[in-house]
Amino acid sequence: MCRDVIDAAERLLAFLAVTSLFIGGTGFFKTYMASVLLGIEPSMTICLAVFLVSFSVYTLDKLVDLDRDVSNMPARKQFLYSRRKIFMGLALSAYITAALIMVYVRPQALPLVFVPVIANAFYGMRLLPWLPRLKDIPVMKNVVVGSAWAVVTVLIPVLDGGYSSPWILVLYFIFIKTFIDTVLYDIRDLAGDRLSGVRTMPVILGEMPTVLLLLILNTTILPVSLLLPGDGRAIALALTLYGYAYIAYLRRRRNPVVLDLLVEGEWMMACAVLCLLNAA
């Protein structure tokens, strides 16, 4: 019975991951926790808008990268390929809905909703004829993704809840956490990226040097955690310590479901713990 429950949980998590519902939830809870770190009352409406943006952007990204998924995530390609038109429609509808929500609740934050799409477009473009595309520069994917989601999950709550003094600290904190998460996924995709000629950090440096660099980056947010006011300090410190744990555990390639649960599920678990502590 226990094995059946575990198998059912794995199938559910795999479904949520392949449909981008899990990453959408990550956007929701990351925005919620960013608000808490900022000392701002979290807005469920703002969190919902970021959920829709996250779901849309990552669904579109998966549809574009279906060919690459042959080597890295064959099950994902198998699931999405026959349903690509359905998910394309869902992704576009989700983005439009997120924009309409932002127009209604906080119009001045509307441009921030489009930051992930704009960042993705610039990432694949050659801005000047004599310059390489950002896509062709190693590690730029991680920088672009980390920056885009830090802006969305931190600055939208700032504009919604008013100026908060530690917003730059929280912006850096979320950027580093997101950057680390993207590199951990590159470790998962190492074999496929080598085969495709994609120059990610693990491909260039190797697995262990990459892990050591991630541990160093995680250490840079330790003093940031200590500088945050009130309850944000303890929460950020706990998330930093948790970062050391999952970097060490995921230094080797693991089951993709376990990776999603430990990395993207971090923000959901943090929110659950926070709610339990508040209820106690």
Question: Could you tell me the pTM of the whole model?
Answer: 0.87
Residue 196: the pLDDT is 76
- Residue 51 structure tokens: 């959920």
Output the pLDDT for position 70. 47
Tell which residue, 273, 275, 272, 264, has the closest CA to residue 24: 264
Tens place of pLDDT for every residue, the chain, 280 residues?
566 656 666 677 777 677 778 888 999 999 999 999 988 888 999 999 999 999 998 888 777 765 555 445 555 556 666 677 787 888 899 999 999 999 998 888 899 999 988 888 777 676 666 666 777 778 888 999 999 999 999 999 988 666 656 889 999 999 999 999 999 988 888 887 788 778 889 999 988 999 999 999 999 999 998 888 777 888 999 999 999 999 988 877 667 777 888 888 899 999 988 888 777 6
Q: Tell me how far CA of residue 62 lies from CA of 15, 19, 48, 67, 179, in angstroms.
A: 14, 9, 21, 9, 19
